[in-house]
Amino acid sequence: MKESHPKEIKMTRTTKAKENASNVEIQIISTENAQNYQETIIKEPTSEDHGVIATKKEKKRLKMKNVLWLKHPM
């Protein structure tokens, strides 16, 4: 078996600690982003918040009009 030097063990521990710290930082940022996104979705005002009453409009049927000048030969 190969024996590790104490310096190598210390380097490995600090490297792992830095990786863990960066992972925790990424997780915190991700959580904050998710919470901000959820807040913006929740705070999105609806038309009811503005006092709008929903009504259903009937679509008007387009009327065909005869245009005489289109029928004349040019």
Q: Which two tokens stand for residue 12?
A: 């490995």
Residue 27 has a pLDDT of 72
Residue 31 three-state SS? helix
Burial string for 15-30 (b: 16+ CB within 10 Å, else e) reads: eeeeeeeeeeeeeeee
Check whether 66 has a pLDDT greater than 50. yes
> For 44-54, what is the mean pLDDT?
65
Note if the pTM is more than 0.85: no
Confidence of residue 48 (pLDDT cuts 50, 70, 90): low
pLDDT in tens, 1-38: 455 555 666 667 666 766 766 776 777 777 777 777 66
Q: What is the DSSP letter of 49?
A: T
